[in-house]
Structure 1
Amino acid sequence: MNSGRSSLTMVLALALAAVAAAAVYMYANSAQEEGTPGAQPTIVAPTAVPMADVLVAARDIAAETTVTADMVIVKQVPVGDKNVRALTVSDEAVGKVTTVPLALGEQVLTTRLSEQVSTGLSESETFAYEVPVGKRAVSVTYDEVMGAGALIQPGDRVDVIALFADVSMGAAQQGTPGAPPKVVEVETINAVTYIVQDVEVLAVAQALTSGDAGVVDPNAAPTPTPVPADPNATVVAGAAPVVSGAAVARPEARSVTLAVSPEQAQRLLLASQTATLRLALRSPGDTTVNDLVPAADGVFGVGDAFDDINKPLIPTDLAITEAEFTRRALSVGEVLEFSVTLKNVSTQTVRTAEDAAPGFTYTEGTAYDTLGFVSDAGTYRLGLNVEGAYPTQFPYRWGLGRDVRPGESVEVTGSVKLMSATPSTQYWFGILLEGGEDLPVTITQDGMGAASVAVSPASAATVDARTAELRDEPSDTGVITKEVARGDRLTVLETRGEWVRVQTTDRVEGWIPMSAVTVVPADDASATPASQPEATPAGT
């Protein structure tokens, strides 16, 4: 009897234990699904990611470079990171020529290589890199008389003056009301006017320096002027007539190459086809631009005949007087900062746009118009242009902060967060007169403060946020792989947009928003964890 009761008691106890265990299990699952306060997030180990071979640059490669085997290497990247145009074996790239610069770790794409033969010249050896940003190199022919006695050298600054000969001018007399004016007298005159002022001489013939131009020792004896064999003669056999006290032209023509704006290039070409050009050498440091009425030898003068060709290129409202980048060598994720001083050189108050306000930080690749910074017509903004920005010129734009009175100067600061590694990229400033939503912008000043900025791949980062999560993909919906805290050091493996793939000191990998960390420059070894693995290049 007692044995039966003991067996029944044991069966009931086991049943109650099973029910209790099931209840506990169900409660735990319910708490996790409903996000019970205090519950810890589920830590999911990263799953294996399918990988693919891709050809990447083993070092920075300049444009116009013939690719050799040691310049590229095959790496494995996640299948989703491989660019559809990326090459996979070195034989597909070796012997071809790069059409653009390639950064260390960048995927080598078919669109960035050419079958053409390299010129064999580095950037510093090609004349195109002598042309200032925003300018064009235009050559004009001259002889010794035209070229200030052959004393002009590369690096000098000159004015170009045009002589228009035998220009027909007439005086008009108003006839019957509503009828065209009747020309009652016509005369042929000669007129002289400035075409461009204060432009740089880039080259004289093929010479890029004063030494190449054949500048002689100033202490050497001058070349004698030809003298007639017959003292009573006025012409030397085989030579042009010699006028007492006049310079003697060289028998061969030469050329001078000038750095001019696109508008100046148009004027210069037009004048070179219809007039005789003279070069006027400027004193070093003299930047004065004169607004002169054309000189003429006729009774009637030139009136408005040369209004379109001799208008001086004086900034009508604003001028950049100082421009400086704080640093020119940065790492991915760092901020390119600048300071620019602008002066109102007009006699009226300059209106400015509200957006973006001074001090605003853009993210590389996000232009002003995508942020809704459309300005009112007739307002001014400071623009920052970047090499290769076409068709969106000056993609980063800032207002002046306030309207500027005549003669007043204002300082504008701003920055751009750089997200891509590039060996060397040109940045420069300009002043923009906005046309509003329907009219194009007018660039009133261009090519100011040009500088080359190099961005190297990031090597490490520190966490800025109080807490942050690493995720298994560059998305806010990615599964959390680890939580990190402010001050934690992370090794940077790659960047993708506004996300960074990192590894913690205990070798847990994951993606974290760029906004949650501060990137440590590549040369700051003290900030890099000791156990840094080999980085996997990012896709482009």
Structure 2
Amino acid sequence: MNKRVIAAVAAGVLALLGVLVLFVWAQGANDRAYEGAKLVSVVRVTEDVSQGTSAAELADSTEVVELPAESVPDGAVTKLDQVSGLATNASLQDGEVLLKSRMVAPGERKGKTDVPKGFQEISIALDSEHSVAGAVKPGDRVGVIVTFEPKDSSAPQFTNFTLNQVLVTKADTAVVGEKGEITGTMLTLAVKTLDAEKIVHSQKWGTVWVTLQNSDTDTSGSKIITAEDVVK
């Protein structure tokens, strides 16, 4: 057999062995992380799901995993049979633990603040640092700050308030990390069309923070901030 072919085959075998070793190590790391913890089974979303999806349709977009009991949010669904006949009342994102509060009879709204006429809802997942440590509740108003790093290396990174006094219609602490820890909050916001586009673009290409606002919050004085403004 050609020496080059033998070398190629050997390299492929070694690469496969490396992947297997990494997989076994990762599994062992998860087992060590859960060692001594009481585990419970919950349903976790494995891909983004749109609002109005039935429980029957969720079978292909969810999985049952075991997580430490102390990290499982209240109202977590342990098997899809518990929400049979119901549908999602908001969009769900990959990694989110399915909650009973996210499921309602088709067409019903539950546990949410009403959406003003002319507005629409959009959900974003944020970690604790970017969501006021999970303090946001339905009915609250938030500001949205975005930071971008332009692809053009000659352009500076910048930060700016893009929205203020945005109504929160739903807030769920249900985003779970690989080790079962709660890593963030899913916020559902009521916005107008252009604002929905701003949020999606910012979440896709930049980094989003929210601030907790009230009727006395002074939103004046905002400007585009670069490193030069910070060190002045």
TM-score by length of 1: 0.20
Larger Rg: 1
Give the structure with the larger strand fraction. 1
